[in-house]
Amino acid sequence: MKKMFLKLVLLCLCLWRLDGVSGEAELVMEGDSVSLNSGLTEMKDDDVIQWRFGDENTVIAEINVTAGRITVYDDVLDGRFRDRLKLDNQTGSLTITNTTTEHAGDYILQINRKIKRFFLNVFDEVKSVSVKEGDSVSLNSDLTEMKDDDVIQWRFGDENTLIAEINKRADRITVYDDVLDGRFRDRLKLDNQTGSLTITNTTTEHDGDYKLLVFTGFFSSKSFRVSVYEIYLKYVQIFEIGPINIFHT
């Protein structure tokens, strides 16, 4: 399972490269801590170190050695970093504790004039869903809407087979329902606003792991384990018995 994840992540890292973005990629399971390493062993007297996060380049932590000031701005961005940032006052490295998917994204470390980038991926715990054979199951992307250059992909099974994709960049919505011997044929519904996927009229062949990959400037993913349970029909047989002579002699 872990191995599969890593394979997938490597694939995604390669995709980043293709996009011409470079930097250090870090990867963490939701709830764990991650340290973004400044690469410094100690700070010099006139160093100014700044950590910034996300599309808006929001400053989240700063060290000004001259001023002897160490500041963590953890109330920014709706408090998503509150009580979760630890700034090492010797090296300037930043630790984010108890991560959630809200901490996934682009981190920029500026040391004086030098810039270093990190991409943080936070993996969700696998969500388990059960469904009765024949019923529909919806896998929620938790996205409220997709932005113009977003790409999302749904993948299924051990081979991570691509079954559905929304590519806003190319303005394309594709359902690959002929893959895997057609087991998904006419059964996939992809919500074009949120990217959520519904599998209708499930059979035990749809049992397995589904992954949602989201590329929205950075990469994130969600995993679902779908269990399809069968319905057992109970046949009650009624035997006709003739009259029994209990007073048999």
Q: How far apart are CA 125 and CA 85, in angstroms?
A: 22
Closest CA to 217 of 59, 25, 103, 54: 54
State the alpha helices, DSSP H only, in 127-203. 179-182
Q: Which is nearer to ligand NAG, 184 or 215 (CB)?
A: 184
Closest separation in Å from C-beta 186 to ligand NAG? 7
Length of the chain: 249
Q: Are 99 and 33 in contact (CB under 8 A)?
A: yes
Spacing of C-alpha 76 from chain mean position: 23
Closest residue to ligand NAG, based on beta-carbon distance: 67
Instruction: For the chain, list the strands marked E by DSSP.
Output: 24-29, 34-36, 48-53, 58-64, 69-72, 85-87, 94-96, 105-111, 114-123, 127-132, 137-139, 151-156, 161-167, 172-175, 188-190, 197-199, 208-215, 219-229
Closest separation in Å from C-beta 51 to ligand NAG? 13
116 token code pair: 């270093």
Q: Which is nearer to ligand NAG, 12 or 146 (CB)?
A: 146
Q: How far apart are CA 204 and CA 184, in angstroms?
A: 12
Closest separation in Å from C-beta 133 to ligand NAG? 9
Q: Which is nearer to ligand NAG, 22 or 136 (CB)?
A: 136
Q: Which is nearer to ligand NAG, 39 or 79 (CB)?
A: 79
Q: Which is nearer to ligand NAG, 231 or 236 (CB)?
A: 231
Q: Are 116 and 13 in contact (CB under 8 A)?
A: no
Q: What is the DSSP-derived secondary structure letter of residue 102?
A: G
Q: How far apart are CA 153 and CA 128, in angstroms?
A: 19
Q: Which is nearer to ligand NAG, 54 or 92 (CB)?
A: 92
Closest separation in Å from C-beta 69 to ligand NAG? 7
Q: Which is nearer to ligand NAG, 41 or 66 (CB)?
A: 66
Closest separation in Å from C-beta 155 to ligand NAG? 21
38 token code pair: 């400044």
Binding-site ranges for ligand NAG (CB under 6 A): 48, 64, 66-67, 70, 89, 98, 100, 173, 192, 201, 203
Closest separation in Å from C-beta 175 to ligand NAG? 12
Closest separation in Å from C-beta 203 to ligand NAG? 5
